[in-house]
Amino acid sequence: KNQVEQSPQSLIILEGKNCTLQCNYTVSPFSNLRWYKQDTGRGPVSLTIMTFSENTKSNGRYTATLDADTKQSSLHITASQLSDSASYICVVISSGGYNKLIFGAGTRLAVHP
């Protein structure tokens, strides 16, 4: 069964600190993996897209990693800001004909001053 599991479910950190969010998946065949940021009450916004051959990709203070062998991805946030408070959603796209999107439940991050 294709699944995407994210951990932790929620996280509280202090402003300026770093944090790492995890995403484990059992999706096959794998096409690519995406991290989205969703502010409360708004639509998700894409942070990164990673294909099978990519190990690391950065977008400002966000760095995503992908280990296709262990089927794990992480999203590292550096020097957190209050505006980083949001839900972070891992999405894995399965290939083979028309794609299928499998969403993780998300990690809710709260950055406190």
Residues of this chain that bind other proteins (CB under 8 A)? 31-32, 34, 41-46, 49, 89, 93, 98-101, 103-106
Angle of CA points 60, 78, 56, to nearest 5°: 60
For residue 103, the tally of other CB atoms under 10 A from its CB is: 14
Comparing CB distances to other proteins, the nearer of 15 and 108 is: 108
Q: How far is the CB of 109 from other proteins (least distance, A)?
A: 15
CB of 102 closer than 8 Å to CB of 5: no
Comparing CB distances to other proteins, the nearer of 2 and 74 is: 2
Q: How far is the CB of 113 from other proteins (least distance, A)?
A: 25
CB of 47 closer than 8 Å to CB of 75: yes
Q: How far is the CB of 3 from other proteins (least distance, A)?
A: 12
Comparing CB distances to other proteins, the nearer of 59 and 63 is: 59
Q: How far is the CB of 61 from other proteins (least distance, A)?
A: 19
Question: Starting at the edge strand that comes first in sequence, how are the strands of the sheet with 19-25 ordered?
Answer: 4-7, 19-25, 72-77, 62-67, 56-59
* Cis preceding-peptide flag for 113 (omega within 30 of 0): no
Comparing CB distances to other proteins, the nearer of 25 and 106 is: 106
